[in-house]
Chains A and B, each alone.
Chain A
Amino acid sequence: MYDVIIIGAGVSGAAAARELSRYRLKVCVLEKEEDVCCGTSKANSALVHSGYDAAHGSLMAKLNVAGSAMMEELSLELDFPYKRIGSLMVCTSNEDLPQLQTLYSRGIQNGVKGLSVITGKEEIREIEPNLADDVVAVLHAASAGIVCPFGLNIAMAENAAANGVEFFFDTKVERIFSNKKEQSGFQVKTSKGIFETRCIVNAAGVYADVFHNMVSNRKIHITARAGEYCLLDKSAGEHVNHTVFALPTKLGKGVLVSPTIHGNLLVGPTAVNIEDKEDTATTREGLTELIEKAGMSVRKLPIRQVITSFTGLRAHEDNHDFLIGELPDVPGFVDCAGIESPGLTASPAIGLMVADIIREKLQPEVNPDFNGRRTGILNPNTLSKEERAALIAAKPAYGNVICRCETVTEGEIIDAIRRPLGAKSLDGVKRRVRAGMGRCQAGFCSPRVMEILSRELGMDMKKVTKNGAGSELLLGTNKDRL
């Protein structure tokens, strides 16, 4: 019997797991995919929003500002990449100035610090030279930043695991039964058997409504809202210094252009409601729209430098707010639903809030062995030449470059595989150390990473997958059917 079962190992589930590991609780995370960070958490704008966007008084606004304030310290504690670069909301018409002012005022109401409206072309150009020529004003948010979404999610999950939370992958929740006899607790039927628990945290992203509606009579509805993105080569990474948003106008919502924490340039997202909760396909219309819109706030965008494009699904709840709390009609079932943007930013605060709800309910003792520190995968590029030479002398695998575009060594890949909740697939390795994320998009390194996975995990090459069962990369051997 578990005290808490968390459904979903995305950023919300991982944050909740880590916060719950501060207490003497038996906690597990059930994840249908083969790894953490496989849904909404892996495909988004990778931003730490300052918090002026969400409606004043909403849970979204509160947790956004709180999460943003926690991010820097958390990044040091959990050793994941985060950088406060500031954001600019670009206004290109005097007519739209009131909207910019509205956002500013809302930000102040929400408690966002470091906001200022800058007018005057000279001054604007000075802080961001490549903004569109017709820019008339910008809303500068100094507290906004960029983060590695995989890094944040994986770090919180690893730390939770190190503090005793169990993770079950490839474990899809199929049914949830309330224990009618004991008036409390649940039976959770999964693809890997039945789990029993006192409480459930529903952090299932776009599927959160499915689990909510399994147990509650007060139905909710979550729409998967697809957002397409283009990622540009690192040669374009310095095209802008801030995250650049376009002020929504009568002509619609613009797209953002932002440096990523790894030095690429990200353009996106579109917003299209879709029926299929797994539909992460990109579309011709979406990619065309991105290319057209990106030029509206940023000039001379080197759009030919696109190295990949992808679609993320936002878990959009009908009332457009986070739904976090114990269900009145289902005691012990805690929703963590509708976590769309700024969910990544808010995640540390979401984890805290969920843990507080559980703590009040179960009154657990504090876990005296909790250690909130986690050491990330060593990135040799951050070392001095001397340190790097010493590292290779001690561990020669750090001298063997596997991914040429991102200069990722065998040593880093081995670390990504061997650590707790380690990588089991090509995408798992990619999310942890960036092998295959560069300009050749894994052309050179994928066979080599496959070899390392096969060797480290003791599995046949033909069993190596891109992202879990069903995505095997090799289907046979030469002439095996001739």
Chain B
Amino acid sequence: MKEYDIVVIGGGPAGLASALAAKENGIKDILILERDRELGGILNQCIHNGFGLHTFKEELTGPEYAARYIERVVDMKISYKLHTMVLDIRPDKVITAMNKEEGLFEIRTKAIILAMGCRERARGALNIPGYRPAGIFSAGTAQWLVNKEGYLPGREVVILGSGDIGLIMARRMTLEGAKVKVVAELMPYSGGLKRNIVQCLDDYGIPLKLAHTIIDIKGKKRLEGVTLAQVDENGKPVLGTEEEYSCDTLLLSVGLIPENELSGGMGVAMNPVTSGPFVNESLETNREGVFACGNVLHVHDLVDFVSEEAAVAGKNAAKYVKNQSENRVSAANSEEIVQDTKVCLKPVNGVRYTVPSTINPSRMEENQIVRFRVGAVYKNKTIGVYFDGEEVLKRKRMVMAPGEMEEVKLSKTMFLSHPNVQSITIQVEDV
């Protein structure tokens, strides 16, 4: 069986950045396993610009952003396999994978970085009644067809959900000659970034109907139309608000779900809020030596933050591998120390989750970024951070929305001044 120091599952932005960081931190035997035909993941179909403003201080398209990482992966001679599907990961870190050339094969590794990304929520999960004709696509599928293959899935389009991919596709379909009639969003706020609302809808005069959903789908063979209705505060359609839209295409942009089937199979504990693994400050899961980053950990808005987070996972995976080989003889049970000093992060009052969910102060960097999302739209509020009830940080926010990821930075000094801290609370509060 072939052995590696680190195997990265997924060659998208998270996988690439984590592999690079691991390599830069001295690990030689790294392998990236990618199921698609090329590295770069979903970026390859994101031909619009807006990527890299944080990382490179310039505006790149998705493929350009990916290319910067792919070139470095090639330059640094990190090995990768394409068209390779991972079928199973055993708790003892034996990976079963498959491709055309090598068939079914197993590899063993010291550390694993989970970077499988996410998938789009499908119609079935929404219980939208009606027929099941051709012409209903997830926004990402339509994006693949248009951007990668040059096909127009339809000419008269309604979009349900205001996730970023849906907004981006509203503009794309318009530019390619389709008529996008409306974007309907169940929630009273948009699920996407403000800049995408402005640049993809407002600029093209596409109406966004908040607190609306589709209550019927018409057309037996190909989609012929949908019925839109306003919803009340419980998400239930309001009688008498129905509007008919004729259309041949319905795009769904109703949420992304981390693809954690492999993680679950190897016993990685999952956070039901994010559908991603629980991780500590090193982005390590409850399974020692198994790290997670990018959209498989929690769904991000910006790839720049995926790259940043993935680099942390890669660096810590490298550290883990090096520690392991150093400690092999002495077998210092560092794990027990870690357990003893685990500080739990508690998201409350408007904060839905945090990544990481625990911090070991002795292992943290000078600054620890904690990322989270809020559960509703908040205006003129503050984010408060409390160490065992004592306020250590307050950050004012003009606007916070579920569609935009938030972060706070915890410094080592905060922990030094609270040596016995048990739990950290993060919450939304009035100014």
Contacts and interface: CB of A to CB of B under 8 A. Distances in A.
Interface of A: 230-231, 235, 278, 280-284, 286-287, 306-310, 385, 388-389, 392-393, 396-397, 399-401, 404, 407, 439-444, 446-447, 461-462, 465-482
Contacts of B96: 385
Contact of A441 (B105, B123, B131): B123
A399 B101 CA distance: 8
Interface stretch (B137-145, B356-364, B410-418): B137-145
B241 to A, nearest CB: 14
30 contacts: A280-B220, A281-B217, A284-B129, A306-B124, A396-B100, A396-B101, A399-B100, A399-B102, A399-B103, A399-B104, A407-B85, A439-B119, A440-B120, A440-B138, A441-B124, A442-B122, A446-B137, A446-B141, A447-B144, A462-B151, A467-B134, A473-B153, A474-B153, A475-B155, A475-B249, A476-B155, A476-B177, A477-B152, A481-B155, A482-B177
Nearest to B131: A281
B129 A282 contact: yes
Contacts of B105: 389
B135 to A, nearest CB: 8
A401 B85 contact: yes
Interface in B182-228: 215-217, 220-222
Contact residues of B: prevailing secondary structure: mixed
B384 interface: no
A231 B125 CA distance: 10
B150 A478 contact: yes
Given A281-B130, A306-B127, A471 B222 contact: yes
Contact of B140 (A235, A308, A443): A443
A274 to B, nearest CB: 13
Given A307-B124, A399-B99, A473-B153, 6 more contacts: A280-B132, A281-B217, A306-B124, A306-B127, A446-B137, A482-B176
B222 A389 contact: no
Interface residues of B, number: 53
Contact of B176 (A281, A283, A478): A478
A472 B135 CA distance: 8
B118 to A, nearest CB: 10
Contacts of B220: 278, 280
B83 interface: yes
A309 to B, nearest CB: 6
Nearest to B96: A385
Nearest to A383: B104
B402 interface: no
Contacts of A446: 137, 141
Given A440-B122, A474-B145, A392 B100 contact: yes
Contacts of B137: 446
Contacts of B95: none
Interface centre among B119, B120, B132 (most CB of A within 10 A): B132
B134 A472 contact: yes
Contacts, number: 145
B215 A284 contact: yes
Interface in B351-390: none
Contacts of B134: 465-467, 471-473
Interface in B231-258: 237, 248-249
B67 interface: no
Contact of A308 (B87, B120, B122, B146): B122
A479 B122 contact: no
Nearest to A440: B119
Contacts of A479: 176-177
Contact of A404 (B85, B120, B155): B85
Contacts of A278: 220
B146 A443 contact: no
A282 B155 contact: no
Given A306-B127, A475-B248, A478-B152, A443 B85 contact: no
Contacts of B125: 306-307
Nearest to B264: A235
Can you list the 3 inter-chain pairs with the closest CB atoms, starting with the nearest?
A: A308-B124, A470-B221, A441-B122
Interface of B: 35, 83, 85, 87, 96, 98-105, 119-120, 122-125, 127, 129-135, 137-138, 140-141, 144-146, 149-155, 176-177, 215-217, 220-222, 237, 248-249, 264
B296 to A, nearest CB: 14
Contact of B87 (A235, A400, A407, A469): A407
A308 B146 CA distance: 25
A104 B134 CA distance: 45
A283 B102 CA distance: 48
Given A307-B122, A393-B103, A396-B101, A471 B248 contact: no
B103 A286 contact: no
B430 to A, nearest CB: 33
A447 B145 contact: yes
A423 to B, nearest CB: 15
Contacts of B99: 399-400
Contacts of B122: 307-308, 439-443
Contacts of B141: 442-444, 446-447
B249 to A, nearest CB: 8
Contacts of B149: 447, 461
Nearest to A234: B261
Given A447-B145, A476-B152, A404 B177 contact: no
Contacts of A461: 149, 151
Nearest to A286: B129
Interface centre among A231, A286, A441 (most CB of B within 10 A): A441
A476 B264 CA distance: 41
B103 A392 contact: yes
Contacts of A407: 85, 87
B151 A477 contact: yes
A481 B215 CA distance: 31
Contacts of B129: 281-284, 286-287
B353 to A, nearest CB: 17
B16 to A, nearest CB: 20
Nearest to B155: A475
Nearest to A468: B221
B124 A401 contact: no
Contact of B104 (A287, A306, A385, A466): A385
B85 A389 contact: no
A474 B222 CA distance: 10
A153 B102 CA distance: 36
Contacts of B176: 478-479, 482
B327 to A, nearest CB: 33
B177 to A, nearest CB: 5
A473 B138 CA distance: 13
A443 B215 contact: no
Contact of A470 (B85, B102, B144, B222): B222
A404 B154 contact: no
A444 B100 contact: no
B286 to A, nearest CB: 19
B287 to A, nearest CB: 19
